[in-house]
Amino acid sequence: MPEAEELIIDAARHAGTAVHGFWRRRHAPPPTPTVFLRDVRTRLEMLIDAVLGCELPVRAAQAAAPMPLLRRLFTRGGRKTAAAGPLPATDGTAVFLPPSLPVSPPASAAFTDDYCLLALLQALHHLRGSAGEIARLESDLARDLYLIAEAAAVDHRLRRLMPGWSQALDALYVRMDRALAQRRLRDALEADVAARYRNFLRGRAGAETLHANPAAALDWANAQARALRLRVPARRYVAWLGDLVVGRLLPPEGAPRARVRASSKAAAAADARAGARTASLVRRPRVRDGRDEDDAKPGVSMVQTSEPHPHAEDPFGLNRPEDQEPEDDLGGAAESLAEMEEARLVHSPGAAREAFEASDPPPRLESAADTALPPCAFSYPEWDCRTSRYRENAVALFSHPAKPGGAKWVADALQRNAGLLAQIRRRLGAIRPDRTILRGQTAGDEIDLDAVVAARGERRAGATGDARFYRSRRPAPRTLALVLLVDASASTDAWVTRKDRVIDIEKEAALLAAAGLETLRTRFAVLAFSGEGPAGVQIREIKRFDETWDASAQRRLAGLEPDRYTRLGAALRHANALLAACAADHRLLLLLSDGRPNDCDRYASRYGIEDARQALTEARLKRISPYCFTVDRAGGSYLPTIFGSEGYTVVQHPQQLPVAFINWLRRAARVCMR
């Protein structure tokens, strides 16, 4: 007799077979023809450029964030206030269009007309500056009236520019009118707004709707909203107007304005991509400026009285806790993040362990990828480890003199290190590259008068001496050229003692090193580097090869302050180019740094490490000897990869950096002067 478990399994198998057969026999409806934005994006950008004469990026629009539960319960019956799908929009920097549009079979070319019309309408909003005035709207009612006024102005402009498209524009308006007719209006205010909008769609809008500029349209919308409020009972009005024609007007995202400096560049050993867990992000929240909702003064609400609940955004931005367990629900975190309307974006040091993949990345990170570079003083390639080839003209580097600082810092530093400075000059002075004069030679270039006088005296005294009446000069030792490259990124702002930061110790080491190099009578240059993104690498010139180490150069060193990120490869290639142009027998490249390569884009990952390693390989091929001093104790994961096992020194205590640097310089000078 079969067991109960066997009966259950057999019944489940038969039930599954029956369900499977039912679904196979059921005919699914044919898919709706759809055109995708990714297939026509380039043509739309070319159309905007051809018709309006402006280059605007076309990006995929995102759906509005889902309405929270409490808002659905307490907002006028819980109905949605606007279209839930992605709508055309502009934020003053780009045009956003729906990722896809359905196409009716009879209208095979409708997708081209719809996408072209929506792109031109939003581009005209951009040229008109419609999005720049939304911050001055007084209410949601004024917002909907402002959208109608701006839509009328843009429609008038487009019909004058492209009269041949009036028929396609009217067809689009008819579809929007039909959709609006099916909407159930809530009160008299919504009915009035709907009537105004339908009059516009049907071509019956009055002249009062047209305004010369957005500021005039804004004043009209605010005035009309106040007048409507006086005629209609005071009920809360929620903005609801939104379709393919009026679209949305978005404020510029806060990421480019809010710069968050990384406090440290000590990173995990794993690669940023290889070790990161990933999850798909249905929609990306808009970037919120960190100043938008910050309280001016701390209050009691900031006190955490109990264990916090999981949340998608912490008070300092989208910075996930570092103690996440491997079994944490990353997909749930992605869903929670997608439900947020906006979130603050921050940059944290190290490699990301969790990555949320979205089709529309933040604009700041997107511009740091493969974008056109502006004209600049220098352009350098970058090594792409993923394709094993160079990306030509990938980095724009700007070189300019550093801003001078106060002379007091120079005087205090020299007085504080007076004993060490005297020791440096004494030890390096013994090996400076002077020409050596050999006296009392049997042959030479010049007569040695001292030897002649001495021999004459010896002969008169009855002694016979050797005929060593000449002197010769030994050729000068091999020449030396050196570039001192100082990391001046934001991470050097970290305090290592009560009085000194990393940048202060680096400046003192550079000051003493320059004094030692001056003693050696060596050609040298002192450069500081930092930057943000491939189009913003900055070289601050403290001393060039053709300048002397004087009070002006010392003041430029004193004025050095931390700034932004560390795009190391470009700085190394610039130093290589300067050294290669020097006529010297030995060329040295010395780097003072506090951590690994880092930038606001993929340079913070393995990409940056491999690019820096390749830049140093290029230096060695040009017979340039690079070396690095770093205070990053966690650099064992990347330093051997970049500099080799013998190409760097980790200073355990930052205060020892000047002494360690001078000892290395003395050994290097001895080798080069042989």
Domain definitions of the chain by residue range: 34-249, 254-296+312-367, 398-430+478-673, 437-473
By the 10 Å C-beta count (0-12 exposed, 13-18 middle, 19+ buried), 50 is classed as: exposed
Q: C-alpha angle 387/392/397, rounded to 5°?
A: 125
pLDDT band at 573 (very low <50, low <70, confident <90, very high): very high
pLDDT band at 158 (very low <50, low <70, confident <90, very high): very high
Q: What is the mean pLDDT of residues 667-673?
A: 66
**Residue 229 to residues 192, 235, 400: CA-CA distances in angstroms?**
11, 9, 59
User: How much is the pLDDT for 322?
Assistant: 45
172 or 451: which carries more pLDDT confidence?
172
How many other C-beta atoms can be found within 10 angstroms of the C-beta atom of residue 614? 20
Q: What is the mean pLDDT of residues 76-93?
A: 66
pLDDT band at 297 (very low <50, low <70, confident <90, very high): low
Query: Does the pLDDT value for residue 407 go beyond 90?
Result: no
Q: What is the mean pLDDT of residues 232-260?
A: 68
Q: Residue 359 corresponds to which tokens in the numbers above?
A: 């089709």
User: How much is the pLDDT for 370?
Assistant: 41
> Smallest Cα–Cα separation from 656: which of 512, 517, 549, 527?
512
Q: How far apart are CA 546 and CA 567, in angstroms?
A: 26
Percent of the chain with pLDDT over 90: 9
- What is the SS3 assignment for 3? coil
User: How much is the pLDDT for 252?
Assistant: 62
User: How much is the pLDDT for 673?
Assistant: 58
Q: What is the mean pLDDT of residues 496-516?
A: 82
Residue with tokens 């009209």: 220
Q: Under CATH, to which class is 398-430+478-673 assigned?
A: alpha beta
Query: Does the pLDDT value for residue 549 go beyond 60?
Result: yes
User: How much is the pLDDT for 306?
Assistant: 52
Q: What are phi and psi of 384, to 5 degrees?
A: -100, 105
User: How much is the pLDDT for 74?
Assistant: 61
* H or E, element range at 423: helix 418-429
Tens of pLDDT, residues 424-483: 777 666 555 555 677 777 777 788 788 888 888 877 777 766 677 777 766 555 678 889
Query: Does the pLDDT value for residue 107 go beyond 50?
Result: no
Three-class HEC string of 458-492: HHHCCCCCCCCCEEEECCCCCCEEEEEEEECCHHH
Percent of the chain with pLDDT over 70: 70
Q: What is the mean pLDDT of residues 490-495?
A: 79
pLDDT band at 525 (very low <50, low <70, confident <90, very high): very high
User: How much is the pLDDT for 302?
Assistant: 52
pLDDT band at 635 (very low <50, low <70, confident <90, very high): low
Please state which of the ranges 51-60, 227-236, 412-421, 652-661 shows the lowest mean pLDDT: 652-661
Q: What is the mean pLDDT of residues 391-395?
A: 87
Query: Does the pLDDT value for residue 671 go beyond 80?
Result: no
User: How much is the pLDDT for 155?
Assistant: 92
Q: Residue 652 corresponds to which tokens in the numbers above?
A: 């355990």
**Under 8 Å between Cβ of 134 and 182:** no
Q: Among the ranges 256-270, 322-336, 531-545, which has the highest mean pLDDT value?
A: 531-545
Amino acid at 254: G
Q: How far apart are CA 219 and CA 226, in angstroms?
A: 11
Q: What is the mean pLDDT of residues 50-66?
A: 81
User: How much is the pLDDT for 165?
Assistant: 86
Q: What is the mean pLDDT of residues 418-423?
A: 80
pLDDT band at 594 (very low <50, low <70, confident <90, very high): confident
User: How much is the pLDDT for 587?
Assistant: 87
pLDDT band at 632 (very low <50, low <70, confident <90, very high): low
User: How much is the pLDDT for 69?
Assistant: 65
Amino acid at 202: R
Q: What are the DSSP E strand ranges found in 359-497?
A: 378-384, 389-401, 437-441, 446-447, 470-473, 480-487
341 or 90: which carries more pLDDT confidence?
90
Please state which of the ranges 124-138, 139-153, 411-425, 470-484 shows the lowest mean pLDDT: 470-484
pLDDT band at 325 (very low <50, low <70, confident <90, very high): very low
Amino acid at 621: L
- What is the SS3 assignment for 303? coil
Query: Does the pLDDT value for residue 92 go beyond 90?
Result: no
User: How much is the pLDDT for 447?
Assistant: 80
Roughly how many angstroms between the first and final C-alpha of the chain, as a whole number? 99
81 or 512: which carries more pLDDT confidence?
512
The DSSP secondary-structure symbol of 501 reads B
Q: How far apart are CA 269 and CA 273, in angstroms?
A: 12
Please state which of the ranges 57-71, 117-131, 519-533 shows the lowest mean pLDDT: 57-71
Query: Does the pLDDT value for residue 85 go beyond 90?
Result: no
Q: How far apart are CA 145 and CA 197, in angstroms?
A: 9
**Residue 97 to residues 31, 40, 244, 247, 311: CA-CA distances in angstroms?**
22, 11, 9, 9, 30
Q: How far apart are CA 533 and CA 526, in angstroms?
A: 23
User: How much is the pLDDT for 637?
Assistant: 67
Query: Does the pLDDT value for residue 272 go beyond 50?
Result: no
The DSSP secondary-structure symbol of 322 reads T
246 or 667: which carries more pLDDT confidence?
246
Cβ-count burial 471-505 (b if 16+ within 10 Å, e if not): beeeeebebbbbbbbbbbbbbbbbebeeeebbbbb
Q: How far apart are CA 391 and CA 573, in angstroms?
A: 14
What residues contact 190, with CB distance under 8 A and at least 6 apart?
237, 240
Please state which of the ranges 118-132, 423-437, 554-568 shows the lowest mean pLDDT: 423-437
Q: How far apart are CA 666 and CA 243, in angstroms?
A: 73
Q: What is the mean pLDDT of the chain?
A: 76
Q: Among the ranges 135-139, 283-287, 408-412, which has the highest mean pLDDT value?
A: 408-412
